[in-house]
Amino acid sequence: MSIALEDGSRVAIVGGGPAGSLSAYFLLTFAARMDLDLKVDVYEPRDFTKPGPAGCNMCGGIVSESLVQALALEGIELPGTVVQRGIDSYVLHTSADSLRIDTPLHEKRIAAVHRGGGPRDAGEVQWGGLDGYLLGLARDLGARVVPSRVTELDWEDGRPRVRSQDASETYDLVVGATGVNATGLQLFEKLGVPSKRCETTKTYITEIGLGEEAITRQFGTAMHMYLLNIPRLDCAAIIPKGNFLTICLLGKDIDRELISAFFGSDAVQRCFPDGWEVREGVCHCSPKINVREARTPFLDRVVLVGDAGATRLYKDGIGAAYRTAKAAARTAVFSGVSAEDFKRHYWPVYRSIAVDNLFGRAIFEVVHAIKSLGPLLSGCLRMSEKEQRSPGESRRMSIVLWDMFTGSAPYREIFLRTLDPRFLARFLWESALSVPKGVAHG
Amino acid sequence: MAEGVLGKEYGDGEVICRQGDPGDRMYVVQAGKAEVLHEEDGIEEPVGWLQAGDIFGEMAIFERQPRAATVRARGTIRVLTLDKRGFLRHIHEDPSLAYRILQQMSHRIRSLDAELSKLRARAEEHAEN
């Protein structure tokens, strides 16, 4: 049975990060198209214009190529006040070598952003970053931003009730956009969702202030990816922003030992100015990330979006927030807000992210294997290097690496591309050429 | 070009896309202005203007035809390119993404209708005289 939203229906969104703000944005956009009068409240206690953790949603801060394009089609332009640096290339570093890979269009289509007001030691506050900007867009469309923390969720006559520090209000729909780092997820368990919480792992992020000039000189407009043979480290990235570099480590049980090994590696040291001691910035965090989706992301009149539900493994979490937020809003406005409505129209989008992550997991397993086998890693670099040198040639490896590191294409697509016999043959051939002669004859 | 911006910058007078070229991508204006020009016998006739937020180059993708017009930067302009495959994949996954393009096309048809009726009125006036 469907439950439709009507003129005057009220929606509460718990959490004002990208998933929450975009839910409000699309609910109000779709409602306006249908001449439906919706009242949308976004509960967000944080002030995104504050530097440091108080105003930050803690992530690497990359808006992927595919999301930048989708947002442009939606009419959402990311202004220069939000984009700390436009990214047009990446540099792949291994312990022995570095390789720069440009995109065919030579165009800045990836946005490096701060999520909040910037790192703790940012000095001046700059516009509230991506999260502040998206929340502003929702506010411009008529969403009311309630600057209070939600303390309890329960039911009143079959409708969800939101209790905050100051008030208690009943709604026709509650959208959970609490992320995985907030205790907010527990609130939704009390409502009966989800039956199994999403699985999380810890990542590590720090921001190093190097100054805009030095960052432009040393890191340019490229994302720097590190494939190093450090145990438990899946991959690492250094993302140049305005005056800061964001360093992101992804892997299993990231601890001090692993962080020191990364900072101390030759591959990292050679990227910094001579004599610069690479060490943790003033602002650092170990946020949890969602690695396995919640099993039931909806009930009648309740739906979870963004990291609270399902997100993309490791990369493009903001893109997953956009897709889930939009799908939930589309379902609510054009179909209805019953569990059945969400199952029919929201679940397929949600499932596609979850299924794609299975391919993602397989890809990262392969990356693990390649990292630990020198010839395969060299083969990967040689193949990509040759593609760069001959512009006419198809750029199979370069594109696979680009899409994988930037989160620009679904993992399934990347995985299938690597199964192409021409890709495999070339990769194995280049790897064979990389085997030291003594071993080859060995 | 400043660090904190996206897309590609074109200088005054530079061609962003040319009439007759294959249409393998479309564009969204991020900042600045461009003029749409129709070329006939080597002469460029102005047919319209583009500004921030406008999408162009989509006709060639939908109709699988060469570009119908040339677009030249007027002053410095910044444009984001959307490749054909990525665009088509996006709208097949989420058809609502085509809504703004429909809106824009409908707006263009409305202006063309107004332009056409103005021309007809002028032609009739001319015939009567």
User: Cα–Cα distance between B40 and B44 in angstroms, integer?
Assistant: 7
- CB neighbours (10 Å) of residue B5? 20
Look at B97 and A70 and tell me if their CB atoms are within 8 Å.
Answer: yes
CA distance B78 to chain A (A): 11
Q: In this structure, what are the phi and psi dihedrals at residue B81, rounded to the nearest 5 degrees? A: -95, 135
Q: What is the pLDDT of residue A378?
A: 84
A331 reaches B (C-beta below 8 A): no
All residues of chain A having their beta carbon less than 8 Å from the beta carbon of residue B52 are 77
Q: Is there a contact between A12 and A162 (Cβ–Cβ < 8 Å)?
A: yes
Q: What is the pLDDT of residue B71?
A: 96
Helical ranges in A76-211 per DSSP H: 129-140, 184-191
B88 reaches A (C-beta below 8 A): no
CA distance A71 to chain B (A): 9
All residues of chain B having their beta carbon less than 8 Å from the beta carbon of residue A33 are 99
All residues of chain B having their beta carbon less than 8 Å from the beta carbon of residue A242 are 3-4
Q: What is the pLDDT of residue A66?
A: 85
pLDDT < 50 positions in chain A: 125, 439-442
Look at A86 and B4 and tell me if their CB atoms are within 8 Å.
Answer: yes
All residues of chain A having their beta carbon less than 8 Å from the beta carbon of residue B16 are none
User: Cα–Cα distance between A18 and A97 in angstroms, integer?
Assistant: 37
B121 reaches A (C-beta below 8 A): no
**What would the pLDDT profile of A345-378 be if each residue is shown by its tens digit?**
999 998 888 888 888 888 888 887 787 777 888 8
Q: Is the peptide bond before A194 cis (omega within 30 degrees of 0)?
A: yes
All residues of chain A having their beta carbon less than 8 Å from the beta carbon of residue B3 are 84-86, 212, 216, 221, 242
Q: What is the pLDDT of residue A441?
A: 42
Q: What ipTM goes with this model?
A: 0.88
DSSP string covering A242-267 = SSEEEEEEEESS--HHHHHHHHHSHH
pLDDT per residue rounded down to tens, chain B (129 residues): 566 789 999 999 999 999 999 888 999 999 999 999 999 988 999 999 999 999 999 988 888 889 999 999 999 999 999 988 888 888 888 899 999 999 999 998 999 899 899 999 999 998 887
Of B4, B97, B99, the CB nearest to A84: B4
Half-sphere exposure of A11 (CA within 13 A, CB side): 35
Q: Is there a contact between A62 and A83 (Cβ–Cβ < 8 Å)?
A: no
